[in-house]
Amino acid sequence: MKVLVVGANGQIGKHLVSMIQASENLEAKAMIRKPEQASFFENVGAETVVVDLEDDTTPILKAVKGADAVVFTAGSGPHTGKDKTLLIDLDGAVKTIKATEIANVKRFIMISSFDTTRKAIQAASSSFAPYVVAKHYADEKLRDTNLDYTIIHPGRLTNDKGIGKVTAASTVERDTIPREDVASVILACL
């Protein structure tokens, strides 16, 4: 089973690609933005494809084709402007969802934010709210598809070593979670 990891060069993405490559039945195709990001993935034997999520759907569609599942773990990150929140976290996600539908790939895993409900938007600080809005609409777009999707809402992400145990349920108290454990959860969903 081939898994396209969108946002492979992110912190969750790198864990995930490594885990996929270490697994028996899965192989990763790492979607990255810049060619110079390829070496990490080549070192774990993963295929790479260079696509900028700000491009139109065509190169994304090419990347999706031939995959059996798509994981969206791309994010503009906290250090870019809110323009990138609109262009990557919302529009990049929706373009990836659309490309997945067009390519007739059924399985889609979205790494969302902890809570993207209307209530969470209103409760968020003014600096965080735009991000929650972007993730809210991206999640909603995914729910409106016929894809076989899973939306993962992790708690506060840390770079601690994964402990291999998570509390997963439709609603949980917010807690921290190592990115490595988020990658384990994604792997278990595949």
- Residues near a second copy, by CB under 8 A: 54-57, 81-83, 85-87, 90-91, 94, 118, 121-122, 126-127, 129-130, 133-134, 137
Least distance CB 56 / a second copy (angstroms): 5
**Residue 190 CB: number of other CB atoms within 10 A?**
18
Q: Which is nearer to a second copy, 90 or 183 (CB)?
A: 90
Residue with tokens 């700000």: 54
Least distance CB 68 / a second copy (angstroms): 26
Q: Which is nearer to a second copy, 61 or 177 (CB)?
A: 61
Q: Which is nearer to a second copy, 41 or 72 (CB)?
A: 72
DSSP state of 90: I
- Residue pair 32/40 in contact (Cβ under 8 Å)? The answer is no
Q: Nearest 5°: phi and psi at 154?
A: -75, 160
Catalytic residues: 131
Nearest one of 11, 14, 10, 23 to 2, comparing CA atoms: 23
Least distance CB 79 / a second copy (angstroms): 14
Cα 30-27-17 angle, rounded to 5 deg: 45
